[in-house]
Each structure stands twice: as structure tokens, then as C-alpha cells.
């Protein structure tokens, strides 16, 4: 029996934890303390860690957790990521015995150059590539890189659970309404997600189908977003990566 939970960390991070009531796997445990407390409370042993990219709020627990549990740490190829056991690239796969899990690895650069995502068991662990109704800033990559990464994600089944690393959904919805305010699915999502946060429940995981319908960053092929980008760039017929770049620039300006 596999269980998946989003474990809150820092102010708005989630550490995703799979467990089978004996063993556990954690995704992006930047803060080891809440994870250790959860494992101790449930009598679980951490067997593996999956890292999506090098930012410290995703990797800060690696050393302490590996020392404590002698767990395997899977991560992209970046010397800034500590205590790595096995380096992964897009096209690789991960097999874990306890809990019994299999993941395929997607290369998803854009937010960072080293970013990877994990797909398995009907779930996508996408770090900071996709957020609830949003996407990560382009700290190292280009709009074209991120467009290719999002296209790889868009090819997954609509029922895929989207397991993001941050609880940014309500703020992202506020921005999305400024460029896609006539989107009825977006407005319905706002009602649902605000109700979830009002009772201190996570808005995640979402589904890829919901993100396709409401997330402007995953709608960069859609006519409504192309029309927005044309107005934003003041020229007709922008290419898809230019549409994505316009959405990113508008969000960055909106963030101030």
C-alpha cells in the first residue's frame, strides 16, 4: 500500500514523501527537520531521495539525511548538489525496492540548467518547472528551453498528478486572471483552491488536465495566450517560445 503526502517545509515548500508504512522516499527535502520528525512519528526508514535541481531549498537536507539513514540520493549532474549517490539525466530511470517505485527521468531545464523531473505511478515530481497555475522563473535557462520542457510535460496523460515543490497557487491564480481573466476554468479553480487554503489544506497535487485548462504557462500554444503575447510584444504571430517568454516577462513584472 503506497501513500503519497506533501510535507510542508520552510514557508511554502513541499517535501513529497512516498511510503509503504515501512520505507519512505522523499523528493527535494531542503529542510531535514520536518522530514525526520515525520519519519520518526510513523516509524519509517528513508531509503532514497530524489532531487530535481541544485537550489538549496531542495537540497539542504541531503548531508544530514544521508548520514542518518544511509539512503541513496538521486540527482542531476551538478557539483553544487551535496552527497549525491547516483547522477541522472533525461532518459534515465530509477528503480527503488522499498517502497517499490519506478520513475522515468525527464530533462526539464529552464528554471535551472540542471533541472530534471520524475514521472511514475501516475505522478509528476516537477520541482520548480511547473507550479500550481504557474512556472518557475528562468534563473539560468531561456524561454525556448522552458518551452521544450513544458512540451515534454504536456505529452503526459491529463490524469497525471502534478506534484510541485511550492505552495504558490493562489498568487499564481491572481496573476493568471490579469492575462486570462475570461477563462471560466481558471475562475472555478480559484474558488476551489481558495477554499482549500482557507481550511489549511494544500492545493496540490493538481492534475495535468487542470493545469492545461488554467495555467497560462502550460497554455502557451493556446490562441488566447498567443493573442496576449501579440499585444504584450506589440507584433503579430509570435512563436510559441516567444509566447512563453511574454508570459514569463509579464509575471516577472507583476511580481515587481
Query: Is 54 considered catalytic here?
Result: no
Q: Which of 54, 111, 114, 241 is catalytic?
A: 111
Query: Is 111 considered catalytic here?
Result: yes
Q: Is 121 exposed, middle or buried (0-12, 13-18, 19+ CB in 10 A)?
A: middle
d(CA 256, CA 253): 5
Q: Which of 19, 53, 54, 115 is catalytic?
A: 53
**Hey, which residues does 9 pair with through a beta bridge?**
13
Query: Is 128 considered catalytic here?
Result: yes
Q: Which of 28, 57, 114, 241 is catalytic?
A: 57
Query: Is 151 considered catalytic here?
Result: no
Q: Which of 114, 128, 180, 241 is catalytic?
A: 128
**Helix/strand number for the chain, H first, E second:** 9, 14
Q: Which of 31, 166, 180, 193 is catalytic?
A: 166
Q: Which of 28, 58, 193, 241 is catalytic?
A: 58
One-character DSSP codes across 87-150 = EE-TT-EEEETTTTEEEEEEE--SSSTT-EEEEETTEEEEETTEETTEE---SSS-HHHHHHHH
Query: Is 57 considered catalytic here?
Result: yes
The SS3 of residue 55 is coil
Query: Is 55 considered catalytic here?
Result: yes
Q: Kindly list the catalytic residues.
A: 53, 55, 57-58, 111, 128, 166
Amino acid at each position: 500500500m503506497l501513500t503519497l503526502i506533501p510535507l510542508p517545509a520552510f514557508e511554502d515548500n513541499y517535501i513529497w514523501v512516498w511510503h509503504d508504512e515501512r520505507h519512505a522516499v522523499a523528493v527535494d527535502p531542503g529542510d531535514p527537520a520536518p522530514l525526520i520528525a515525520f519519519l520518526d512519528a510513523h516509524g519509517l526508514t528513508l531509503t532514497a531521495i530524489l532531487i530535481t535541481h541544485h537550489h538549496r531549498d531542495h537540497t539542504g537536507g541531503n548531508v544530514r539525511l544521508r548520514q542518518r539513514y544511509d539512503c541513496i540520493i538521486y540527482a542531476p549532474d551538478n557539483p553544487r548538489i551535496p552527497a549525491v549517490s547516483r547522477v541522472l539525466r533525461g532518459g534515465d530511470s530509477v528503480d527503488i525496492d522499498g517502497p517499490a517505485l519506478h520513475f522515468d527521468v525527464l530533462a526539464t531545464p529552464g528554471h535551472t540548467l540542471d533541472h530534471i523531473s520524475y514521472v511514475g505511478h501516475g505522478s509528476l515530481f516537477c520541482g520548480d518547472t511547473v507550479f500550481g497555475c504557474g512556472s518557475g522563473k528562468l534563473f539560468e535557462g531561456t524561454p525556448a528551453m522552458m518551452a521544450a520542457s513544458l512540451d515534454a510535460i504536456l505529452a503526459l496523460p491529463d490524469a497525471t498528478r502534478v506534484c510541485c515543490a511550492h505552495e504558490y497557487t493562489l498568487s499564481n491564480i491572481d496573476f493568471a486572471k490579469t492575462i486570462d481573466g475570461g477563462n471560466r476554468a481558471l475562475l472555478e479553480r480559484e474558488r476551489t483552491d481558495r477554499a482549500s487554503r482557507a481550511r489549511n489544506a494544500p492545493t496540490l497535487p493538481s492534475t495535468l488536465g487542470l493545469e492545461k485548462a488554467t495555467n497560462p504557462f502550460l497554455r502557451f500554444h493556446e490562441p488566447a495566450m498567443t493573442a496576449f503575447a501579440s499585444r504584450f510584444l506589440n507584433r503579430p504571430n509570435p512563436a510559441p517560445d516567444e509566447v512563453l517568454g511574454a508570459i514569463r516577462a509579464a509575471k516577472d513584472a507583476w511580481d515587481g
